[in-house]
A and B are shown apart, each in its own frame.
Chain A
Amino acid sequence: MGKNPGTANGAPNLAVQLGPLRLKNPVMSASGTFGYGKEYSSFLDLRALGAVVVKGISLKPRAGNPPPRIVETAGGMMNAIGLENVGVEKFLEAKLPFLRELGVPVIVNIFGNTLEEYRELAARLSGAEGVCAIEINVSCPNVKEGGMVFGTDPKMTEAVVRAVRTVTTLPVITKLTPNVTSISELAKAAEGGGSDIISCINTLAAMAVDVFSRRPRLANVVGGLSGPAVKPVAIRCVYEVTRAVKCPVIGIGGIGSATDALEFLLAGASAVQVGTANFTNPAVMSDIIEGISRFLAVEAIEDINSFIGSLDTSCVFPFSEDSCALIKADMD
């Protein structure tokens, strides 16, 4: 830090290692905001992404919740889509080949009603060529089956992770909900169950109402809040989780720019997922990757890994220690 711009030789290294998972850069899509990848293929080169995390998959197809399913709020949006998806068989047959042929690393987000369903899904995906990791969703706030019943109880979280862990050799990511008193406890439970990586956060349980109709704005009554409004909550969660567990953490929540992504990396995340911002700007992830690269070059940081987790919490002033001492002397 603080060196002259442009002193690094060549382009900075963006590759990150998350336990057993190596990514060419730390930027990937967040599940549920990027479809099955193809939806965005005319806006950006999917091959440039660290990975594509696809829409949550269940054993059987799901129709989802009745509309209205989304509502815009101040600096964010709420959704209650209800995990509409094509089901694992159609995913493998009709959706995965496109990404596999492109050569994009695919992370499949899964959810189920029972431990058995999680286990069956993980086993089914394990043999599939092109899948590079499984992300366990134990955090959807919008449907009974969304896993939040598992994700708010450390014992059940551990049991789900263990169920998946025993049937797959793929890297396992556990996606946590912020709708708990202590996210660290859940992170420890997931790590204890054998999760290689923790990702956080899923959406915040939220509600919006309308004074004319005197009805909730979502048919599901409550929904999940996402977008810039949740970013400070997400950074706090990443900060706490990275200090509670040894495994790497993926930061998610309100990332819409390179500096947003860098803030999560600084707080300790080894990689990030971009969600709601894909709706506002379908090419945003390529801008973020390029922006991170430019920032590292300007700051003369040759390897992104030296920036990850380098947050200095010893001084609240954005100055060097000398400046702090000077200010302190001045105040005395």
Chain B
Amino acid sequence: MEKIIEEGRIVSLERVLGQIYRLRLHCPKIARAARPGQFVMLRVREGTDPLLRRPFSFSRIYALKGELEILFRVVGRGTLLLSRLPADSTLSLVGPLGNGFTLPADKSAPLAFIAGGIGIAPLLELIAQVVGGRGQKGSGELHLFYGARSAVELLPEEEVTIAGLRSHFATDDGSFGYQGRITRMFEDVLAEGAFRPLQIYSCGPLAMQYNVAKWALANDMPAQLSLESLMACGIGACLGCALAAATPKEAGEERFVHVCEDGPIFSAGSIKWEKILAQQTAPPTWPFN
């Protein structure tokens, strides 16, 4: 599949709430080729600060308009600079990259979508495509489980609700919806027995993804998890975005997968979770400088 380098024009950039921003870019070549779950490497600005591009998934793809929407949270210098760019300025994009989600062939399959924090981003486009593909006669329940630390980090309900989708919300502090982890809420709802998905799609912080994977493996349910990593090139050259891979072979032999080429979508069983949980990246220091 062809990878494209393209100058994207900022159509709009707005703060949604808290530190979450919505960026809309006009970049017709990449927008036409993009699929949900894939990503672009975005050059926040020219020059050497920051030096590297940053990876972002698509929260919406408007192929006909030639536009992409990127939902991002300000977490460091790159995203801070991005949030301050004026409308009409241009950015260099490389994409679409990665494997993307695989949509179920069965259009009546019940599905679960699990999002943590800004991890809602790639699921929005996926949900839009699944719902759109089912038409009026669409059957099969679609449930979104969407959690964040607090209500100020949760997109407003109307931003995520769509006809044909049942949404469940949770916050760690109970400021909106269920109080507690979204994976706990998901387990509670499934324990009631009324809803049993054929497949799970999830994106969120590593601890959440680990819990989703653990549950999926224990319950023998296929799951597609969108993972992330620090990344220099995004195209399989630098090999910087390695994650420890599950190895069926004898213990001791190490194997790595690369988020940019083998992912960013992985099955629950393909990752050596105990290894990658120990290697979570630290928070940025910029708020103190």
Contacts and interface: CB of A to CB of B under 8 A. Distances in A.
Interface of A: 32-35, 39-40, 42-43, 55, 63-72, 74-77, 79, 81, 84, 210-213, 215, 217, 219, 227-228, 276, 278-283
Interface stretch (B112-120, B153-161, B185-193, B228-236): B228-236
A279 B49 contact: no
Interface string B262-286: 0000000000000110010111010
Contacts of B66: none
B242 A212 contact: no
B221 to A, nearest CB: 27
A64 B256 contact: yes
Contacts of B51: 72, 75-77, 227-228, 276, 280
Contacts of A282: 5, 94, 233, 235
Pick the 7 closest A-B CB pairs, nearest first.
A70-B240, A35-B237, A279-B233, A210-B282, A279-B232, A213-B282, A39-B237
B254 A66 contact: yes
Q: Range of interface residues on chain B? A: 35 or more
Contacts of B136: none
Given A65-B242, A76-B51, A227-B51, 15 more contacts: A55-B239, A64-B242, A66-B279, A67-B243, A69-B230, A70-B232, A71-B230, A72-B52, A79-B238, A84-B242, A84-B256, A210-B282, A210-B285, A280-B51, A280-B53
A53 to B, nearest CB: 12
A83 to B, nearest CB: 9
A180 to B, nearest CB: 26
Chain A contact surface mostly: loop
A176 B233 CA distance: 25
**Interface of B, helix, strand, loop or mixed by DSSP:** loop
A249 to B, nearest CB: 25
B235 A39 contact: yes
B235 A281 contact: no
17 contacts: A34-B237, A67-B244, A67-B256, A69-B242, A72-B51, A77-B52, A79-B232, A81-B238, A212-B285, A217-B282, A228-B48, A276-B232, A278-B237, A279-B53, A279-B233, A280-B53, A283-B5
B116 to A, nearest CB: 21
Contacts of B48: 75, 227-228
Contacts of B231: 70
B279 A70 contact: no
Contacts of A66: 242, 244, 254, 275, 279
Given A63-B256, A75-B51, A77-B232, A279 B281 contact: no
B18 interface: no
A219 B279 contact: yes
A68 B206 CA distance: 14
B15 interface: no
Contacts of A39: 233, 235-237
B65 interface: no
Contacts of A227: 48, 51
